[in-house]
Chains A and B, each alone.
Chain A
Amino acid sequence: MRAIRFIAACLITVSLTIPMWAQSASSVAPSEYLIKAGFTYNFAKLMQWPDRAFPQPDSPIVIGILGADPFGNTLREVLTGKNVNGRTFVVKHLKLGAELKDCNILFVTASETAHLDEIFRVVRGLPILTIGESPNFARRGGIINFVLEDDKVHFEVNVEAAKQADITISSRLLTLARIIPQNVADGGKP
């Protein structure tokens, strides 16, 4: 029953949804990173990691922050007491290198724009959701990239990159995102 409803919903969504260049209606009222923190949390909800991404069924979702931390305590505050499918959140600060592999979501701050290729090389093939805020982050191989337009936070999604990371992104998220074309992403490959 639920499956049928789901399919019906998908059908309706597919049939009714025009590829949208959605514009965020709401203004960035509190602060840019509070929104980004909330979005990150909500991304976690709409993602599906392969089982191998977690050592145990109730293992927490590890969010790794690479670069200068723009969130401060905001991310931790947003995630406090939250869980997705029984998994809590753990926030870590990571350094470029092999320890990048020890997370489920890797937030690459704007400060790390120069090391993007290296970063992608490390996490390639690993079920790690990469989120960035640098221009062309998604084109170059990142999965989701925040874009600021008219004081509103939007996001781009590289579906190919997500496939390579073996992460399934909910269509509901995809309908709201800007999809980055395949060929651009291929171009980023070494």
Chain B
Amino acid sequence: MKLLRLVNLSIKRKLMLITMLTSIAALVLFSASFLLYDLISFRHSLSADLATQAEIIGYNSAAAMTFKDEAAATVTLTALKAKEDITAAALYGPDGKIFASYVRANNKSSLPSNPPPIDGIHFKKGYLEVFHAVSLDGEPVGTLFVQSDMSQWSSRAKRYATLLVIFMLISGLLALAIASKLQGLISRPILRLEDTMRMVSVKRNYEVRALKFYDDEIGKLIDGFNAMLAEIQQRDTALQSANVELRSRTQELESEISQRKQAQEELLNAKRIAEDASRAKSAFLANMSHELRTPLNAIIGYSEMIEEEIQDTGHFQNVQDVKKIQSAGRHLLALINDVLDLSKIEAGKMGLHLESFDLAQMIQELASAFQPTIAKNFNTLELDLSGDLGLMRADVTKVRQILFNLLSNACKFTNHGAISMRIARTEMNHRQWIEFGVRDTGIGISEEQQGKLFNEFAQADVSIARKYGGTGLGLAISHRFAKLMGGNISVDSDLGKGSVFTLLLPAEVNAEPSEPVKPTVHENVAVLESKPQADTILVIDDDPAVRDLMSRFLTKSGFHVVAAADGEQGLKLAKRLRPRVITLDVVMPGIDGWGVLRRLKADSELAGIPVIMVTIVDNAVAALNLGASSYLVKPVDRDVLTDLIQRHRGNHISANSQDVPVSVSVSSEEEPSCT
């Protein structure tokens, strides 16, 4: 416990303590040994003195002893009174009896009764005693006894002890003074170092340096400490700058993140706006197409009727005018259809209605339909149907439309030339393909123009539009259709010599899910009934103009027409009248065309009646899937509709059930329009 307290003393005190203890220990040892030596040697000299004295007294008393002179012997002994330390003395005769004696006044010790047989000096009970044989001329005459209390020795010892204590006190004080002065040599640098260390650790100030005093081990320690401090300072500075940099980087990052967030929000906003705009555009297009087709229907339909009436009355000079109205209307209609097709493709809403058909037959029909157009520019058409083409599975309407476009273009840009169409079945990448090549000897297309040929609204030259007319959409739509069916269209042309367009389609086009289009609701309900006849045709359409037109030209063609203004009415009439054929509009208020179709097909009595969808909404696939017999897009070509009704009427009679529907989709144009 005490040692522990000593161990925890400050280095200053420790140094002083060590110095003091060392010097005091050395002092004590030295003094003690000196004292001991001195006292021992003093005792030696004392005993030697006593022995000498004893010898002298013995010598002096020898004669007295010899001549038995007691008085003289006593006088001799009594002379010892002058010696303070001698307490007793005695002379023994040869017979051992005391002959003469001397005892100091205050002495309490008794004289020995018999002297020992031999001489000697010895200490006994704090006294120094000497026995000395007395002889005269070599002949023993007795023994002398002298006793000393060594008062000289003890007083000397006391004096020495006192001196030593004083000496040690003075030396100790001197040592203390020196130690307290000199300990600074060691403790001062250490204390300063400790101060510096505390300053560093408390204030975190790495710029201070410990002061170096001397070039000893502590100096080296301080050097090392300073070096470490410098290192720490350097690291601290580096760390701080790194921190600052990190902070600024973090700030940069944060600002960047917030900027990006803002940008993201703006983007999201823009996307929302864009989506809204897109929806608005789609809705607008749908509305517009409806709104545009409806008047066009009326224009084309009434102009045809007027033409017939004019021919009936014989005013032929007016026929050309009316035909021009029809032509203009049809061109406009084609334009609208193209735009609608393109917007549908872009919206990804263009579906495929896949069916197997005889390719050769389809080509023949198309070629014969094209004969008038080819003849117009004094061209010839050559068909090359190599080998057995067999059946093809694709969306026949779209294939037909593509070929129609390609042939129209060939006719349009060729005069007095030859147009050839070559169809062949090939195999590529383990797949069957049908290759359609349409070649002409027309004006050709430059390489520069070939690059943007399939872009929307891109005709080879702006001047072409003026000279040849057309929307520039035909090739773009054809290209898209080909892609939709997994195929492609390419062009190879020499300017001035002619062009070759090659359509490549898979023989078996992969099915793609088609989605029905949700029709919008319209008001207007009206029922129009014709006179009951044998071949009753039920016309269901909410547009009174359509009902009127259809009723008039179907009546002319010899049918009995009953018209209904909405779905409910149509269904009732169908049940009551059991018509031969039903024409059905899609977009109607209340139950739309799809709903009516579904209910007709669900009713076992009515399911057998052929339904021809006559609508502005171009979704033949959905219609045919729901069980419609045919699909026509408004404005309806009278002849096509009449022809279709004629055919379905026969089917109904022969089968009287829902057979495999004859899917004949006819383009709304009678003549190829400019595309």
Residues of A within 8 A of B (CB): 5, 8-9, 12-13, 15-18, 20, 22-26, 39, 42, 45-46, 84-85, 170, 172-173, 175-176
Contacts and interface: CB of A to CB of B under 8 A. Distances in A.
Given A5-B52, A175-B63, A22 B76 contact: no
B56 A5 contact: yes
A17 B61 CA distance: 11
Contacts of B52: 5, 8
Given A20-B75, A26-B68, A176 B63 contact: yes
B137 A22 contact: no
Contact of B60 (A13, A18, A20, A22): A13
A173 B69 CA distance: 11
A15 to B, nearest CB: 8
B146 interface: no
A170 B59 CA distance: 12
B70 interface: yes
Contacts of A172: 59-60, 62-63
Contact of A9 (B56, B67, B139): B56
Contacts of A85: 137
B210 interface: no
A26 B70 contact: yes
A131 to B, nearest CB: 14
Contacts of A173: 63
Interface of B: 52, 55-56, 59-60, 62-64, 66-72, 75-76, 79, 136-137, 139
A175 B75 CA distance: 11
A20 B71 contact: yes
A39 B67 contact: yes
B69 A45 contact: no
B136 A16 contact: no
Contact of B69 (A15, A24, A84): A24
A25 B75 contact: no
A5 B139 CA distance: 20
Contacts of B70: 23-26
Contacts of A5: 52, 55-56
A45 B139 CA distance: 10
B136 A22 contact: no
Given A5-B52, A42-B136, A16 B79 contact: yes
A9 B55 CA distance: 9
B323 to A, nearest CB: 186
A16 B71 CA distance: 13
B67 A175 contact: no
Given A20-B75, A25-B70, A176-B63, 8 more contacts: A5-B56, A8-B56, A17-B75, A22-B64, A22-B72, A23-B70, A46-B136, A84-B137
15 contacts: A5-B56, A13-B60, A20-B72, A20-B75, A22-B64, A23-B71, A24-B70, A26-B70, A45-B136, A46-B137, A84-B137, A170-B63, A172-B60, A172-B62, A175-B63
* Cβ-closest 8 pairs across A and B: A25-B70, A16-B79, A172-B63, A26-B68, A45-B137, A9-B56, A22-B69, A22-B72
Interface-central residue, A16, A23, A45, by most chain B CB under 10 Å: A16
A26 B136 CA distance: 19
A33 to B, nearest CB: 15
A5 B54 CA distance: 11
Nearest to A152: B68
A172 B137 CA distance: 12
A44 to B, nearest CB: 9
A25 B60 contact: no
Given A5-B52, A16-B75, A46-B63, A176 B137 contact: no
Nearest to A82: B139
A22 B71 contact: yes
Contacts of B137: 45-46, 84-85
A18 B71 CA distance: 11
B146 to A, nearest CB: 14
Contacts of A170: 63
A84 to B, nearest CB: 6
Given A5-B55, A45-B136, A45-B137, A12 B72 contact: no
A175 B72 contact: yes
Contacts of B139: 45
B68 A25 contact: yes
Contacts of B59: 9, 172
Interface-central residue, A5, A20, A172, by most chain B CB under 10 Å: A172
A175 B59 CA distance: 13
Contacts of A46: 63, 136-137
B136 to A, nearest CB: 6
Contacts of B76: 13, 16-17
B69 A25 contact: yes
A182 B68 CA distance: 27
Nearest to B99: A25
A25 B71 contact: yes
Nearest to A44: B137
A15 B62 CA distance: 17
Nearest to B82: A16
Given A17-B75, A176-B63, A12 B69 contact: no
Nearest to A29: B68
B304 to A, nearest CB: 185
A12 B56 contact: yes
Nearest to B56: A9
A23 B100 CA distance: 14
A5 B58 CA distance: 12
A46 B66 CA distance: 11
Nearest to A18: B75
Contacts of B136: 42, 45-46
A42 B66 CA distance: 7
